[in-house]
Structure 1
Amino acid sequence: MSLSSNTLRSLEHALQYASLRQKVISNNIANADTPNYKAQDVSFKNVLEDSVNAISATRTDPRHFRFSAGDSSSEIVTESGTTYNSNGNSVDIDTEMANLASNQIYYESLIELEKGKLSSLLNVVRGGQ
């Protein structure tokens, strides 16, 4: 029996995603006045694939979706074709600040979930006392 579960691994991947997204958003804010800087974001597709890959399922019908293993890393993508400023910069500071606040709430909720999971494990180790 393993103490580490899919839940802890999923939370770890989600925390890595949130941490990387925080860095990317901060970088966008820092470069808000840099000419020709293109805003970046973290691809959610890989995080979604990771979550799907963590699900173990048996395909009982050929019409069912396939579950396959994939890369567990997130990808930074540069927004192209969007220009908000006359200097070629595509950073919208209001959008980035909203993304920063949203990501912070997401990160803090993940921390609370992980604290609850680890607290439950500690309770089991102590014998329910």
Structure 2
Amino acid sequence: MAINLDRLVGFHHKAVQVRTEQMEVISGNLANANTPGYKARAIDFQQAMSSARHDQTHRLARTHEKHFDGKMELQQAELKFRVPTQPDTGDGNTVDVQQERNAFLDTGMRYQASVELLSGKIKGMKKALSSGGGQ
């Protein structure tokens, strides 16, 4: 019986990737907190994961070496401008530093949880393989 690692960890791996990209976007927002006219951006995690779920069920088979592999990176539709929660200060910048810091901490904790979940799945697979190998 063939082991399909994509089915085992593919969805969780995508979650870790999206969380990483979220942290990069938030870092960019924080770095531009004093840039006039900068518009804070955010990744819609739910939309990104729905897209990943759809991609996982509708994956294309690569039949020729010159074909694309069918994997999709983060789509522009998932990267959106954050809705401002504070009044305009006059320079057009929409970054709320406290909100961004909170979002960064929240995303970091969720990233850690996703990594631990992935690690547990891989440990379980290793255990299953090592106990099944002696038969």
SS in 2 for 1:38: coil
Q: Segments of 4+ in structure 1 off by > 3 A? A: 52-56, 79-84
Confirm or deny: 8 A CA contact 1:84 1:91 kept in the other structure.
no
SS in 1 for 2:131: coil
Confirm or deny: 8 A CA contact 2:18 2:48 kept in the other structure.
no
Residue aligning to 1:76: 79
How far has the Cα of 1:85 moved from its partner?
2.3
Residue aligning to 1:28: 29
Confirm or deny: 8 A CA contact 2:41 2:79 kept in the other structure.
yes
TM-score (norm 1): 0.76
> Which has the larger share of helix?
2
Deviation by residue 1:9-68 (Cα, 9 ceiling, x = unmatched):
001111110010000000000110110000001133132232355469xxxxxxxxxxxx
Query: Which whole-Å CA distance do the structure 2 matches of 1:87 and 1:53 have between them?
Result: 40
How far has the Cα of 1:72 moved from its partner?
5.8
Q: Percent identity?
A: 24
Instruction: Give unmatched runs, 5+ long, in structure 2.
Output: 59-70
Deviation by residue 1:79-103 (Cα, 9 ceiling, x = unmatched):
4787642211000011101100110
How far has the Cα of 1:77 moved from its partner?
1.7
Pair 1:104 & 2:108 matched: yes
Query: Which whole-Å CA distance do the structure 2 matches of 1:81 and 1:98 have between them?
Result: 15
Q: Aligned pair in 2 of structure 1 residues 97, 17: CA closer, same or farther (>3 Å)?
A: same
Instruction: Give unmatched runs, 5+ long, in structure 1.
Output: 57-69
Query: Which whole-Å CA distance do the structure 2 matches of 1:55 and 1:119 have between them?
Result: 25
